[in-house]
Structure 1
Amino acid sequence: MAQYRIATIEGDGIGPEVTRAAMAVLTEACGAGALAFEMLEGGAGHYTKSGEVLPDDTFAGCRDADAILHGAAGLPGVVYPDGTEVGNDLHLRLRFRLDLYANVRPIKLLPGVLSPLRAFEGGGIDYVIVRENTEGLYASRGAGVVLRDEIASDSLVVTRKGTERVARFAFDLAAGRNGAPRDGQRRVTVCDKANILRSYAFFRRICDEVHAGYPDIAIDYAYADAITVHMLKRPDSYDVIVAENMFGDIISDLGAATVGGMGISPSGEIGDGHALFQGAHGSAPDIAGQNAASPIATILSGVMMLRWLGRRKVDAALVSAADRIEAAVGKVLAEGRAVPRDLGGAATCTEVTDAVRRALV
């Protein structure tokens, strides 16, 4: 039996609770011994004790592992001298040092979950946002300029290499999907502000060039302001959306809100050789230690991890386990067996976890 090393960072706040929940479900689905979780230190809490948010041995463990599973990071008031949050720096450092250039956020309405979009309460939302993860406005992280306490500036960076590879990732992803729910068309939508800024016009042009290699996949375009309207009015028209870093960050959270919120929204940060998976939510320190957090986002991030690892290692058992976990989550929610509090239920983190484990077939 193949065994895969999973670098695991519980992090801060609810991070330990949701991480352990995901580990329990993943182990149940894959069988004992298939996944070796290597527990590593890191995050804002570790920073307050050691002065390090990402220790060298933690980075080495992540670099050498088959995949990375992360809970959450960040604590109120734990900031650097420039005011930026320490917790975010954990996965940002991993992102840049391991070149995790594609941030993947599935936006899917799960069975039994009510969307705030009344027209889609019966389903029909199923698309993926692919956010360029190493460039854009966030490339200025740590390098912005403040002059005389009067002027502050950050630079937006778009390169040909960075855009080509994230666009290719998006088209490859679309090629393996079933298309948009509305018309079944495999489609990549480019989200930008090409009408205003040259950097975004360049981003769009490079996406067009990459599209030439994918004649069976449609391409369309949406300005970042307009897409926020379309994501609410006609979300079923989307299949895969590709965007610059900051725009992708913003619209990903909007998309999550339309399908139930951050507590059930998974994410993956993926490169050519490494990948990190974590729930899209924060560390929620106000409910930490109360067994009140929803583990679903982290469990579904584990599903993404198994699928990525299964494809990479050509291991059909991992892909099968991922499918079974996703089906179990859907069954638990649809039947109301254990509905977490953020979805209007009263189930604890433990109760949701146990229900998903029992629903595995």
Structure 2
Amino acid sequence: MANYRIATIEGDGIGPEVAQATIKVLSEACGAAKLDFQMFEGGAGHYMKTGQVLPDDTFKACRDLDAILHGAAGLPSVTYPDGTEVGNDLHLRLRFQLDLYANVRPVKLLPGVLSPLRAFQDGGIDYVIIRENTEGLYASRGAGVLLRNEFASDSLVITRKGTERVAKFAFELSRKRRGAPRDGKRRVTVCDKANILRSYAFFRSVCDEVHTGFPDVEIDYAYADAITVHMVKRPDFYDVIVAENMFGDIISDLGAATVGGMGISPSGEIGDANALFQGAHGSAPDIAGQNLASPIATILSGVMMLRWLADRHEDTSLEDAADRVEAAVGVVLSEKRAVPVDLGGKATCSDVTDAICRAMN
């Protein structure tokens, strides 16, 4: 039996709670011997103690082990001299140093979850946002210009290589899916502002070029402002959306809000050789240590990790385990066995975790 080594960083705030919950659920689904969760330090709390947000041994483990599971990072009070948060630097460094160029954000309405969009119920919203993760406006982080405290400037960076590979990732993902809920069609929607800026017009043109290799997948276009309306009024039209870094960041949070919020929204940051998985939420230090956090986002991120490993290693047992966990989450929510606080219930982090484990048996 294969033994997969998972570099695990609990991080800050609720990070340790949701990470431990995920370890418990995945170990239950796969068997204790299948996954070897190896613990490493990192984040704002570690920076306060040592001056390092990402120690060398943590980085080496993230680079060399089979996958990365991250709880959460960041404490608002812990900042660099320029005012930016220290904790965010953990996954940003991993993102750039490991070239995790595709940020994958599933937007799926889970069974039993009430969407603010009243026209949509179970299965009515099911798409994935692919956010280019290493370029765009965020490529300027730490390199912008502040001149005499009067003028500030950051550069928007779009390259052919960066766009080609993230567009290819999006089209390949669409091929693996069942299409949009509305019509069953596989399609990739390119989100940009090609009508205003040359950089986005270039992004769109490169996506068009990549599309020629995927004639079985439709291509669609939406300006970044207009897509926020469409994601609310007709979310069932979407299958896969691909966007520049900042736009992808913004619309993925909107998508999460339409299916119940950040507490149940998973994410993965994927490159050619490495991948990091974490809930889309932050570290929520105000509820840390109180057993109030929802572990569902991190558990579903663990499901993404199992599927990534299954595909990479052709291990169908991991795919089966992922299906079992996802089904158990659906049962727990739809039957109201343990509804977390952020979804209007009273279940603790431990309650939800235990209920998911029982639902798999």
**Structure-1-length-normalised TM-score:** 1.00
Partners of 2:223 and 2:201 lie apart in 1 by 11
The code of the aligned residue for 1:17 comes to E
Partners of 1:99 and 1:121 lie apart in 2 by 37
What residue number does 2:21 align with?
21
Give the Å deviation of 1:32: 1.3
Partners of 1:179 and 1:122 lie apart in 2 by 16
* SS of match in other structure, 1:155: coil
Superposed, 1:306-321 pairs within 5 Å as 306-321=306-321
Give the Å deviation of 1:76: 2.0
Distance 1:9 1:122, change over 3 A: closer
What residue number does 2:93 align with?
93
Partners of 2:39 and 2:330 lie apart in 1 by 29
* SS of match in other structure, 2:74: coil
* SS of match in other structure, 2:208: helix
What residue number does 2:214 align with?
214
Superposed, 1:1-361 pairs within 5 Å as 1-361=1-361
* SS of match in other structure, 2:225: helix
| 8 A contact 2:193–2:201 mirrored in 1 | yes
The code of the aligned residue for 1:136 comes to G
Give the Å deviation of 1:360: 0.7
Give the Å deviation of 1:147: 0.2
Question: What are structure 1's unaligned runs of at least 5 residues?
Answer: none
| 8 A contact 2:137–2:154 mirrored in 1 | yes
Give the Å deviation of 1:77: 1.2
* SS of match in other structure, 2:6: strand
* SS of match in other structure, 1:86: coil
The code of the aligned residue for 2:234 comes to R
Give the Å deviation of 1:191: 0.1
Partners of 2:343 and 2:121 lie apart in 1 by 14
* SS of match in other structure, 2:119: helix
Structure 1 vs Structure 2 CA RMSD: 0.5
* SS of match in other structure, 2:200: helix
Give the Å deviation of 1:261: 0.1
| 8 A contact 2:98–2:271 mirrored in 1 | yes
Per-residue Cα deviation, 1:222-270 (whole angstroms, up to 9, x for no partner): 0000000000000000000000000000000000000000000000000
Partners of 2:121 and 2:167 lie apart in 1 by 31
Give the Å deviation of 1:122: 4.4
Partners of 2:32 and 2:145 lie apart in 1 by 51
| 8 A contact 2:123–2:181 mirrored in 1 | no
Give the Å deviation of 1:121: 3.1
The code of the aligned residue for 2:10 comes to E
Partners of 1:320 and 1:186 lie apart in 2 by 24
Partners of 2:260 and 2:147 lie apart in 1 by 42
The code of the aligned residue for 1:78 comes to V
Partners of 1:123 and 1:308 lie apart in 2 by 23
| 8 A contact 2:111–2:333 mirrored in 1 | yes
Give the Å deviation of 1:123: 3.7
Partners of 2:132 and 2:154 lie apart in 1 by 17
Partners of 2:294 and 2:189 lie apart in 1 by 31
Partners of 2:133 and 2:323 lie apart in 1 by 27
4+ residue segments displaced more than 3 Å:
none
Partners of 2:344 and 2:121 lie apart in 1 by 15
Per-residue Cα deviation, 1:85-138 (whole angstroms, up to 9, x for no partner): 101000000000000000000000000000000111344000000000000000
Per-residue Cα deviation, 1:182-225 (whole angstroms, up to 9, x for no partner): 00000000000000000000000000000000000000100000
| 8 A contact 2:164–2:206 mirrored in 1 | yes
Partners of 1:280 and 1:14 lie apart in 2 by 13
Per-residue Cα deviation, 1:311-343 (whole angstroms, up to 9, x for no partner): 001100001000000000000000000000000
* SS of match in other structure, 2:339: coil
Partners of 1:325 and 1:204 lie apart in 2 by 37
The code of the aligned residue for 2:346 comes to A
Partners of 2:176 and 2:26 lie apart in 1 by 24
* SS of match in other structure, 1:119: coil
**Structure-2-length-normalised TM-score:** 1.00
Per-residue Cα deviation, 1:277-329 (whole angstroms, up to 9, x for no partner): 00000000000000000000000000000000000011000010000000000
Partners of 1:43 and 1:218 lie apart in 2 by 41
* SS of match in other structure, 2:87: helix
Partners of 1:244 and 1:294 lie apart in 2 by 29
Equivalent pairs counted in the alignment come to 361
Partners of 1:122 and 1:33 lie apart in 2 by 35
